[in-house]
Chain A
Amino acid sequence: MSVAEAPGRAEPREAAASRLSRKIDWRVFAFVTLLLVLLYQVAIPFLMIVWTSLKTVRPGEPDFITLTFSLSNYVRAFSSSSFWTAAWNTLLFAGASTVVSFVLGAFIAWVVERTNTPLARFIGTMMVARIIVPGILITVSWILLASPNIGILNLVARDLFGVRNFFNIYSFGGMVWVHSIEMVPLTYLLLSASFQSMDPRLEEASTMVGANNWRTFRRIAMPLAMPAIGAALLLLFVTTIETFEVPLLMGGRARFRVFTTEIFQTTSRTPVDWGLSSTYSVALLALSILLLVIYFRLLRHGESYQTITGKDFRPRRIDLGRWRYFTCALSLLLVFIITGVPLLVMIYASLLPNWQAPGIETFKSMTFANYDSLFSTPAVLMPMLNSTLVGIGTATIVVLIVAMISYFVHKTQFRGRRMLDYLAFAPIAIPSVILGATFLWFYLILPVPIIGTLTIIGLAYLTKYMPFALRFVSNSMMQIHRELDEAAQVAGVPWHRNFFKVMLPLLKPGLLAAWFWVMVHAYRELTVALMLARSQNRTAAVLILDYWEQGSFLKLSAFGVIMFLALLVIVVLSNMLGKRYGVREQY
């Protein structure tokens, strides 16, 4: 009765292998190179962290490379109450942020993908557009909005209702709010993808046997979405655990310390207590890895759900009736808060001669002086250029590497190909603070003169962004039939030619998505860039932090607006290029 797997699937490949052994060598060569690159980029940082945590001397000291280990760092860490406070706070912060961003992101994803709410496409686009607003600007803009005494909202509340300091952004709630807002687009992306891939027939089948919308949702849609939801929650949690910007800018004043700020603190004292900071890092790594193992299991579970569904369909949209105007209004409000508010605050602040609440006087006094002073400082141009170079460069290389990885993982039978997958995904567990510090240390020890250049930042980004790019590209790769590759092999097309001429064009949608994601994030990244910054390789985000610490909020805002516009130009231009020189996206 069962449909047998088509026998001899591997045959054409083997035939090709024997006939075209010279071409296969190319593949082996590429595979081995890739494995070595990954070991270098991923395994060494991991090793460095664990190794350092077991050492009582700093990296570089003669005793550092001996095989004598000590657990004294662990004893020190575990016996200090600040370790446990940081641990508890990290979990609390991550838990709360995950919940808030999930609720908001899931609501919008549901509205956009599964209901007949008007303007759904616009709402979805605006959600994704938020990704190009740098995270540090979002944090800064919310501080400007809801800081006690000087925040716009507080000033307005004072003027209108006579309430003093209604909001205090420097609080646990404030931190959770800002970080959640920052993560909502990611939540949205993760969930809308899985909402789209749900077979509507499964829900229609439920309707046909007499179940109403609510039971269909509760018994069919929800359980089916559970693996994807669980995976999204875990990814959000892991992302929060390693986040740095919000705890750095707000955590100090909120008296709320998490692991990443503790690590940063131990790395900014003289002499740096590398042993202790590595131990904190190992604790963080262990937690992240545990969560990621669960994440992978959930993902596999979810895939088993998808094996028997049909191929092409549009997701079922629920007719909300008159409620759809309500969902539309609510989503627009959220989009406004998430995407619009930070931008508006930035633009507002960038036009002020000095900080003040909005009012008629304020608008009269607006000026372009901040922009003028920016453009008259030569130091502004270089970070912008650096960010552009590092963004585009990293994205291009990451996407190429990731395409190869997912090719080997999904389209070949090489032994050890799973290893590529795990190696490329593992860095998601490394917090940026640690990643930056590790790369700095590694290249201090290694006599390769790249410290202070964009190369070292690019190398660190390569490790940092592979996991995200891999998710985008793997999904596209799985949808390409193996036969396409096999056909090229049988036809005697050399492997590398086939890879560039057949695979890459077929992967275009996934590659583009990955490229944009990495480019935008590398462009705006702060933490790693901060750890690796020297005079010549400062990036735009580092300059923003610099302005922040100097208290030049208005100049910062002007710079933020320019940075946003520059990024927008890059995105639009590359999108046009992609459309023009790419192949058709439908196959």
Chain B
Amino acid sequence: MISVAGLGKTFQSKSETVHAIRDVSFEVAAGEIVTLLGPSGCGKTTTLRCVAGLEKPTAGSIFINDRPVVDSKHDVFVPPHKRNLGMVFQSYAIWPHMNVLENVAYALEGRGMSKADMRAEAMRALDTVQMAHLSDRPAPRLSGGQQQRVAIARALVGRPQALLFDEPLSNLDAKLRMEMRKELRRLQLQIGLTSIYVTHDQSEALAISDWIILMKDGQIVERGRPVDIYCRPKKVFTAQFLGATNLFPGTLVALDGQRARVQGPHGDLIGVLSDPELRIGAPVQVSVRPEAIRMASSLGGTGQADANQIAGRLELAVFAGNAVEADVRVGEAKVLCLLDHDADLKADRDVVLTFAAEDTLVLANE
């Protein structure tokens, strides 16, 4: 278990103090994988490196299995090589002057193990990542994916208390990334290691995590289970960052339990209230995912009681393999829709967009 509390890190540049992260707190339960997600510069990597011990935070504390590794109040700082963590780097950091086996076995040095034991352990770890057959290949002759596997084996072999991943898939090509994503998840479930995973790729985060922590400007924006945070984001930033969304501004005019009515330039819209704190009269944003929208050529006949309908003009529709992407002009705004294959691609015609109230979220304006 890892627990991070009040973590802060500032860099002193010539003229100003830059807060890389500020008051970051979270917990990673034993055996779970938590993803730090966010755009570049949001502080996710700094947070991870603080946990690893590669950066010294300026405030806060970190406990790993109840042992303090950082406690800035009591001036505790355990150097990284004494934290017993495994880490997989973005660039893999495979040592080019060693072969595959040496790379992994090196992680066992200094533990009083015999050469043979080290070798056997390393081979076992390589087996886990299906790299045993390449154990004597020199590191510079490995492909990206292979390096990735060696890096994981190396992180695993010392039986660390936790695994840290720093954007491990970002240097792979798209197809390989999809494969490795699943494989990582399988591996994590299989060995059940407490892990922190850093990425800027939302689909990767959704696929791999038990929990997602979304960060922005050095602070945590929102956290939750992948499904919840995707389907029921509480912040506009979350809705925007996790997949595409359409936003309609407006004012909250009526409340009926979870249902909220919003009045705006696009007429009245009904949706689910995301934040119970919101009061009538508050400025809000209504968020609808593109895949939740249906398109019809005329008003009415939706068959649903509280469906929203907006009239617009189809400007462009393109075939995108598994769906049709359509841009619809609604007043000043442009709405993105993902439609079925059989949708009519003919552009420059008036259409009506329909989406169910339960697919519509009412978020606080930021």
Give me the interface of A with B, judged by CB distance under 8 Å. Answer: 1-3, 199, 201-202, 204-212, 215, 219-220, 223-224, 226, 304-310
Contact = CB atoms under 8 A, between A and B. Distances in A.
For chain B, the bracket of interface size reads 35 or more
Contacts of B353: none
10 contacts: A3-B172, A202-B93, A205-B87, A205-B93, A207-B54, A208-B155, A210-B107, A211-B110, A215-B110, A310-B171
A212 B81 contact: yes
Interface in B138-166: 139-140, 142-147, 151, 154-155, 158, 164
A305 B81 contact: no
A205 B145 contact: no
A1 B177 CA distance: 11
Contact of A3 (B82, B143, B155): B143
B80 interface: yes
A209 B54 contact: no
A204 B154 contact: no
A199 B110 contact: no
Given A2-B146, A307-B140, A208 B106 contact: no
B241 interface: no
Contacts of A308: 91-92, 94, 96, 139-140, 142, 147
Interface in B44-93: 52-54, 79-82, 84-87, 89-93
B301 to A, nearest CB: 52
Nearest to B82: A210
A211 B81 contact: yes
Contacts of B109: 211, 215, 219
Contact of B145 (A2, A207, A305): A2
A171 B272 CA distance: 91
> Which 9 pairs show the lowest CB-CB distances between chains A and B?
A2-B143, A310-B91, A209-B107, A205-B93, A201-B93, A208-B87, A305-B96, A207-B80, A223-B97
B89 A304 contact: no
A498 B139 CA distance: 38
A212 B110 CA distance: 9
Contacts of A209: 81, 86, 106-107, 154-155, 158
B85 A205 contact: no
Contacts of A211: 81, 106, 109-110
B143 A224 contact: no
Given A2-B146, A304-B140, A308-B147, A207 B81 contact: yes
B342 interface: no
B80 A208 contact: yes
Contact of B97 (A201, A224, A310): A224
Contacts of B332: none
Contact of A206 (B84, B106, B143, B164): B106
B149 to A, nearest CB: 9
Nearest to A307: B140
A305 B98 CA distance: 10
- Specify the main secondary structure of chain A where it touches its partner: helix
B95 interface: yes
Contact of B146 (A1, A208, A219): A1
B173 A208 contact: no
A521 to B, nearest CB: 34
Contact of A208 (B81, B140, B143, B144): B81
B139 A219 contact: no
A1 B95 contact: no
Question: Which of B87, B89, B93, B155 has the most A CB atoms < 10 Å from its CB?
Answer: B93
A42 B193 CA distance: 63
Contact of A201 (B79, B91, B154, B173): B91
B106 A219 contact: yes
Nearest to B149: A1
Contacts of B155: 208-209
Interface string B95-127: 111000000001101110000000000000000
A195 to B, nearest CB: 16
A2 B148 CA distance: 11
A210 B87 contact: no
Given A208-B80, A209-B107, A215-B109, A309 B87 contact: no
Nearest to A2: B143
A239 to B, nearest CB: 27
Nearest to B86: A208
B158 A210 contact: yes
Contacts of A224: 95-97
A205 B81 contact: no
Given A3-B143, A305-B96, A201 B89 contact: yes
A80 B53 CA distance: 65
Contacts of B86: 208-209
A215 B81 CA distance: 11
B91 A220 contact: no
A209 B105 CA distance: 10
B143 A205 contact: no
B106 A305 contact: no
